[in-house]
Chains A and B, each alone.
Chain A
Amino acid sequence: AENLNFAYGYPSTSAIGLAVDDYAAAVKDRSNGEISVKGFAMSLLSLPETSPGVRDGLADVGFVLTPYYAAEYSTNLYLHEMNLLISLAQTPTGKEPLAFTGAMLEYTFNKCPECLAEFKAQNQVYTGGGVTPLYNLLCKDVKATTVEDLKGKRLRAGGAGFVRFAEHFGAQGVRLPTNEVYEALDQGILDCAMLSAPELTNYNLHEVVTDITLGVPGGAFAGVAAANVNADRWKAMSVDSREALLWGGSQMTASTTWNFYTDDAVAIQNSKDKGIKIHDPEPELTAAVQAFVKQDLKTVAALFRDTYGVARAEEIAADFPPLLEKWYGLVEGVDSKEQLQALYWDQVISKIDPATYAQ
């Protein structure tokens, strides 16, 4: 029997905490009770500590965010930067994050030896990913639905890409940790925060937000390795146990992404019920955002090639969009977490050979 500790830097009731519960059940079931997984919410490793913590064995499995370690995970991070493509979807259905997760999973496992090498160098084995819902503008006392509206506004920006977005539209990108957004909006330091809708609930932002503009700036957070396993632990396991962890990886990926996807719908409905005004962007703003995205994808490719050492940046930029298109088709009929898990397993993870993977 094996006992694995799973560290994740989120509350146990969050989308991720619930996904870890699913992971533990899936792994136990698949291994015929041989492997038990115990979740540690925030107490064992904080978000930035999770990657080195799994590396050194403080946890056996961890929910790793690659953007904390740009130098170590530059290629993985570049795949995450492809998330802007979501904003270019011809006929948006809301399921774009589900498709992006699949595309990223497939690309990482099958077409990105550099990505797997980056995890190997950190003594970790990648078994799954996950993607948040679309980013929106969560504003206080500000309606931002046109290009003109954005001028001079102060927008909370989680990363460098969002700062470029803000500056492109004549706004100011303010870097603030998510847990300071509440007070910053309340005090008028920020006009809007660029965050996904579930953060309205997670950080109680619905208490201060008055207006939401959906799908601007768009894009999603995809810099996630949702169930990285300590490589020493992995190598010491039987082939059957490894297969069970890969199965768990497909569950973790599906649960994380699905929980976020459903949280998104719930959070937006709750906001409506609380009297928060929900806006769609004017067509001219949507068009301007798409123009920015096209330009920014080029900027990002050049940055990663020249500054962050991703030699294949242009090649990846060319390979990725067709793969994403394929996944838009694959997720069309998906209506449940179970279907999503089956899809990720059948299409990608079942084809990984547990005997030879990550040796």
Chain B
Amino acid sequence: MRFLFEQPLNATILYVSAFYMVAIAFLPLGLVEEKNSHIAVELLVERFPGRVQKLLLICATLITAVVTAAVAVRTGQEALAKYATGAYSIEAGGKVITWPTYFVLPVGFGLMSVVSALKFVALATGKDSGLNSLNIEDPYLPKDTPNV
């Protein structure tokens, strides 16, 4: 990278870790939940009868909503504290404000919580959640079932 820019990239590490990595780790959580792409083990549940499966799914969605809401609240408190102290990092040019990066967590976990709460309501009442999964069709794969 230095060859490309030939400039001292003093705050590169800060920008990559505190801004880019924190954002990419947490902001898409809601989108992942919406696409049902969170990683879970189906091994046991897929053998249960349909009604039991549905009941378990409702429980799982509720637990997800509650746990992520708790993390959102706690990281939100932390972010407000960082905002109050005006958290920054000392870099060669002076200071780089870092408190906004802390707000990524309550936003990311909060979105995940909201999406799973909507899913829970939809599942429990049998109504459409209104969530339109952002399903991107993959043109490159054969449509026929794979050789499982």
Docked-complex contact A175 and B10, CB < 8 angstroms: yes
Docked-complex contact A70 and B89, CB < 8 angstroms: yes
Secondary structure dominating the interface of A: mixed
Interface check B54, CB cutoff 8 A: no
Docked-complex contact B10 and A70, CB < 8 angstroms: no
Instruction: Report the interface size for chain A: residues with CB under 8 A from the other chain.
Output: 24
Docked-complex contact B8 and A163, CB < 8 angstroms: yes
**Contact code string A24-58 (vs B, CB < 8 Å = 1, else 0):** 00000000000000000000000000001000000
Decide: A174 near B8, CB < 8 A? Known: A70-B95, A307-B94, A307-B95. Answer: yes
In the assembled complex, which residues on chain B have CB atoms less than 8 Å from the CB atom of A232? Answer: none
Contact-residue size bin, chain B (C-beta under 8 Å from the other chain): 20 to 34
In the assembled complex, which residues on chain A have CB atoms less than 8 Å from the CB atom of B10? Answer: 157, 160, 163, 173, 175
In the assembled complex, which residues on chain A have CB atoms less than 8 Å from the CB atom of B95? Answer: 70, 307-308
Docked-complex contact A175 and B86, CB < 8 angstroms: no
- Interface contacts beyond A67-B90, A159-B90, A160-B90: sample of 13 additional A-B pairs, CB < 8 Å, sorted by A: A69-B87, A71-B82, A71-B87, A71-B99, A77-B90, A160-B10, A160-B91, A163-B92, A164-B92, A174-B2, A175-B9, A175-B11, A308-B95
Contact sample, A vs B, 27 pairs, CB 8 Å cutoff: A52-B78, A69-B87, A70-B88, A71-B82, A71-B85, A71-B86, A71-B88, A77-B90, A157-B10, A157-B92, A159-B90, A160-B90, A160-B92, A163-B10, A166-B8, A172-B8, A173-B8, A173-B10, A173-B92, A174-B2, A175-B9, A175-B11, A175-B13, A175-B14, A189-B2, A303-B94, A308-B90
List of 8 A-B pairs having minimum Cβ-Cβ separation, nearest first: A163-B92, A71-B87, A71-B85, A160-B92, A70-B90, A172-B8, A160-B90, A175-B13
